[in-house]
Amino acid sequence: EDPITVTRAESIEDLLKVSDVVSLHTLLDESTKHLINAERLNVMKKDAVLVNAARGPIVDEVALVAHLKAHP
């Protein structure tokens, strides 16, 4: 069995590029509103799973709907 390894990401974009699952658990304030926006959705893997367990506006819902329509 392979050992578990950890790599620290330098940015959210770097993390999103390599993640199979992204689970959000953050407070909502001006610095986290639309944390996941169109640009960040576009760097995620095609088959990645996004779970928003935080407040709704952490994810830009307009950008999410547009992204899902463009990538069914």
pLDDT score at 56 = 87
Cross-strand bridge partners of residue 50: 22
For residues 12 and 40, is the Cβ–Cβ distance under 8 A? yes
Please indicate, yes or no, whether the overall pTM of this predicted structure exceeds 0.85: yes
Question: CA-CA distance, 72 to 4, in Å (whole number)?
Answer: 33
pLDDT score at 63 = 98
Each residue of 22-38: pLDDT tens digit?
999 999 999 999 999 99
Question: CA-CA distance, 35 to 49, in Å (whole number)?
Answer: 16
Share of the chain above pLDDT 70, in %: 100
